[in-house]
Amino acid sequence: MRHKLAVLASLALAACASPAAPVAAGDSQTSEGRFLVDVHCAECHAIGRNGRSKHPDAPALRTLSQNYPISALEESLAEGIVVGHPDMPEFRFRPEDVAAIISYLENIQDR
């Protein structure tokens, strides 16, 4: 029970910490994706529908679809992203986390 409360508290704090895309009510997968992106990507990348990336070589995540389909990131997220800006660490996500991140990224793209 404490773990669930800690996760809920973390999600609530993450939602308040930085501006991001509005998420449809009840869309828990997109909300989880928002949380994961905030934890793993926000230190360098702009993660919402506006704002600038903190790292000069890190693209705003809302612009990723200008270069390739967001779904093309699934394999890289699962097996480890090894491209990106030179300082970017390698991340590997579980399949359910990949789905959540993809859902969030699709939600924030500049179209």
**Is-contact 108 20, C-beta < 8 A?**
yes
Give, in degrees to the nearest 5, the angle at Cα 49 between 107 and 32. Answer: 45
DSSP state of 60: P
Q: State residue 79 phi and psi, 5-degree precision.
A: -100, -15
Residue (of 62, 31, 32, 67) closest to 45 by Cα position: 62
41 contact partners, CB below 8 Å, separation of at least 6: 47, 61
pLDDT tens-digit profile, the chain (111 residues): 443 333 333 333 334 334 444 455 448 999 999 999 999 999 999 999 999 999 998 999 999 999 989 999 999 999 987 766 678 888 889 999 999 999 999 999 987
Domains and CATH numbers, the chain: 2-108 (1.10.760)
How many residues belong to the chain? 111
Identify the residue whose tokens are 């993809």: 102
State residue 19's pLDDT score.
Answer: 43
This prediction has a pTM of 0.74
Smallest CA-to-CA distance from 53 within 14, 15, 92, 88 is with: 88
